[in-house]
């Protein structure tokens, strides 16, 4: 029987961060997204971290088994492994039903072993994390990798992840590709970074469409207004779904590796694209 870590990561496509010290926002964030990320790290000031952990525990109910949030749609972002707050985060999580964690500033495979028993989303947002992404993705309890642009550039001593035209700098694009390739090579999911310019929904839509086309299975959001743009990018058009179904039916009928469909030669990669369209439609 598979363990939870053996099962694929299926939350998404729109994952929404919510500060863990704002429990009044938990349900709203969950209702407006495909999964909520309760953030114990950057979204919470150091002086408020204990209160944030208490807020997660407080919404479980007196018996501790009736969580306000559905565990299958809830992620908790914990502080970096080795930090003073990490052990406190895990101690609190042990008393909850939440078993999918996002570990901030993941840097090594050893970091992942400190999270035995959890389904881990490794957030590669430092130079070491990006360079070690393949080893991190290979760990059995890791179900997905995410990359982070702003913390990455800060770890490099840089000033901004983007050029004046809004596009990513070359080093950020390299990190994005490296994390995506490492995740997919290990058979794990990849999550695209947040888009920090909240009012720029057009720019978010362009970046989300690129995430879909590149192979990212989900994209993280920092504001509820961003969810619709991400969902729209991931939802295939009805005509694309119908054509994918026709194509796969034709492949089944052809029974050969290469065949013609509507005047075009069809082979394995094109069939995989069609399968991807149907997965997103579901």
Give 146 or 64, the one with higher predicted confidence. 146
DSSP letter for each residue of 214-270: HT-SEEEESSGGGHHHHHHHHS--HHHHHHHHHHHHHHHHH-SSSEEETTEEE-HHH
pTM of the model: 0.86
Give 60 or 97, the one with higher predicted confidence. 97
pLDDT bin (cut points 50, 70, 90) of residue 1 is very low
C-alpha 92/C-alpha 56 separation (Å) is 8
SS3 helix, strand, coil % of the chain, rounded to 5?
45, 15, 35
Span 222-263, pLDDT tens digits: 999 999 999 999 987 666 666 667 666 667 777 766 777 776
pLDDT bin (cut points 50, 70, 90) of residue 208 is very high
The two structure tokens encoding residue 247: 């194509």
Q: Which of 222, 149, 143 is nearest to 184 (CA)?
A: 143
Q: Compute CA distances 182 → 109, 178, 189, 216, whole Å.
A: 13, 6, 10, 12
């Amino acid at each position: 029987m598979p363990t939870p870590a053996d099962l694929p990561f299926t939350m998404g496509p729109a994952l929404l961060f919510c500060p863990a010290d704002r429990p009044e926002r938990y349900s709203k964030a969950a209702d407006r997204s495909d999964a909520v990320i309760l953030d114990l790290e950057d979204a919470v000031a150091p002086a408020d971290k204990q209160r944030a952990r208490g807020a997660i525990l407080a919404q479980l109910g007196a018996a501790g088994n009736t969580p306000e949030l559905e565990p299958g749609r809830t992620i908790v972002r914990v502080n970096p492994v080795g930090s003073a707050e990490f052990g406190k985060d895990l101690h609190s999580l042990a008393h909850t039903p939440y078993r999918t964690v996002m570990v901030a500033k993941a840097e090594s495979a050893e970091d992942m072993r400190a999270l035995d028993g959890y389904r881990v989303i490794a957030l590669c947002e430092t130079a070491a994390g990006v360079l070690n992404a393949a080893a991190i993705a290979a760990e059995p309890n890791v179900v997905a990798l995410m990359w982070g642009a702003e913390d990455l550039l800060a770890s490099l001593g840089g000033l901004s992840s983007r050029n004046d035209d809004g596009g990513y700098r070359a080093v950020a694009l390299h990190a994005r590709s490296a994390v995506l390739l490492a995740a997919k090579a290990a058979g794990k999911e990849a999550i695209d970074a947040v888009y920090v310019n909240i009012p720029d929904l057009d720019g978010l839509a362009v970046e989300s469409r690129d995430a879909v086309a590149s192979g990212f299975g989900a994209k993280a959001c920092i504001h509820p207004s961003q969810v619709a743009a991400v969902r729209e990018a991931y939802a295939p058009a009805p005509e694309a779904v119908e054509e994918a179904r026709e194509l796969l039916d034709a492949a089944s009928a052809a029974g050969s590796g290469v065949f013609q469909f509507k005047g075009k030669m069809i082979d394995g990669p094109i069939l995989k694209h069609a399968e991807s369209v149907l997965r997103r439609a579901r």
